[in-house]
Each structure stands twice: as structure tokens, then as C-alpha cells.
Amino acid sequence: MFDKKQGGPPDRPFTHSDTCKIVKADPGVSIPWSEVESGHWVATCVCGDQHYYAPPPNTRTRLDPIDPGTSRHGGACEFKDTTDRAVLRALLRIRPGLEEGYSWVECGACGFAWPVPDFAEVGTRPVGAGG
């Protein structure tokens, strides 16, 4: 229904068996990949078929505690609508989470806390998150 864009067909060509009649007749033959369902690609020859499943897209929302639009700040806190990043940096305490790959963010004013997933991409880890 709300399909996320999957990757295209694999870059690798179809690998024929050693006894493939098609390759013997036409050594330069190229078997095309066909998408049978979202993210599932199949290439079929007389010698067999091969399947490729595209990795699912990353659908996680980046929860930057310093960005007021994506933070999960408590509704009763007087600083919940603060948009000044300097105030948020001073107000929020960010420390490593209990589980690998997460940081724990706590508001110094109201004590509300929430987990934030760390991202492996360069420059996208929350400020102050481990390392």
C-alpha cells in the first residue's frame, strides 16, 4: 500500500551452469532480471533461475534531540517548544544507552527521558552521543 522505493535489479549478471544449452548456442547471451514483487528479482534460463532480494530501505526516523521538530520531548515541559539549539544543547543530557546503537537523552528541566538510535553515517550521530 505505502511501498517504499526498493533498489533496482542486482548489478551481477546471471550465472549459467556449465552445461547450459543457451550459452553453448550464444556465448554472449545476457539473461535479464525481472521484478516479480517489490524488491524480489528473478532471472530465469533453461539451466535454472536465480533470485535476488533487495535490502529493505531504512525507514527509521532520525530523532535528533537538538532538533525540536524530531525530538520526543515531554508535553508538560516549559521548554518543549524551544527552537534555540544553544538552549537545547545546554538543557539536554545525552549519554550512551543501555543497548548498543542507542543514546539516552534526558531533559534537565523536567526529567523526561527518551532513547535515540545512533546512526552509522558520518555527521549524523546526536551531539554528545558516545565516542
Contact at 8 Å (CB) between 77 and 109? Answer: yes
Chain mean pLDDT for the chain: 78
Weakest mean pLDDT among 17-21, 46-50, 81-85: 81-85
pLDDT at position 63 is 67
Are both 38 and 23 inside the same structural domain?
A: yes
Domain of residue 88, residue span: 60-131
Q: What pLDDT, in 10s, does the model give residues 88-130? A: 888 888 888 777 878 888 888 888 888 887 754 444 444 444 4
pTM: 0.44
**Which residue stretches of the chain are H helix?**
21-25, 85-91
Q: Compute how many other C-beta atoms are within 10 angstroms of the C-beta atom of residue 14.
A: 19
Contact at 8 Å (CB) between 126 and 118? Answer: yes
Residue 58 has pLDDT above 80, yes or no: no
Are both 110 and 48 inside the same structural domain?
A: no
Domain count within the chain: 2
pLDDT at position 57 is 73
The mean pLDDT value for 83-89 works out to: 83
The dihedral sign for the CA sequence 12, 18, 22, 27: positive
Contact at 8 Å (CB) between 91 and 71? Answer: no
pLDDT at position 20 is 92
Are both 66 and 128 inside the same structural domain?
A: yes
pLDDT at position 49 is 93
CA–CA separation, 1 and 23 (whole Å): 40
Are both 80 and 131 inside the same structural domain?
A: yes
